[in-house]
Amino acid sequence: MAILTKPSGATLAAQRGARSLLFRLLDAHDRLGHLLAAHLEPVFNLAARIWMGKIFLDSGLARVTNWKSQEFLFGQEYKLGLFDPKLWAIVTTTCEIVLPVLLFIGLFTRLPALGLLVMTAVIHFAVGYANEDYLAPYHYVWMLAFGYLLIRGGGPISVDGLIARWRRRAAA
């Protein structure tokens, strides 16, 4: 048989004290998150743009310097179909050069992030399906980085951020 008793005043005070401590810890955690977001996220955003842009710009420049092999790669190695391999080579090389430059400066950041996210997904899922050499686990990290840039945009250390500040000042 269980006996139900009312908690004592000391027990209630201890419960309130523990809950109060938990709430203070959660508030401190929240303040730290806001501080990190305000001061470190812009640097993280810039680093993500430069890191991801460099990967694709290097690839695009390598394609330009070794252009003769591109038709073979797109016709035989990548096996994308749909379009002429020469057209695929031109489109992807152009994207690999133009989109990273937009990422570097942070101009229309979401557009190059989306383009390079789609390009990475095609490399991993379509090309990787036809040729297992292109199934690299780091593609998931790339897609996450591009997803972050797609969601957050260029941040304050970008041309997008500069334009946003100008527009706020003009509206004020």
Average per-residue pLDDT in the chain?
86
Structural domain boundaries in the chain:
39-171
- Confidence check: pLDDT of 48 > 90: yes
Task: Say yes or no to pLDDT of 18 above 90.
Answer: no
Q: Which of helix, strand or coil describes residue 135?
A: coil
Give the pTM. Answer: 0.79
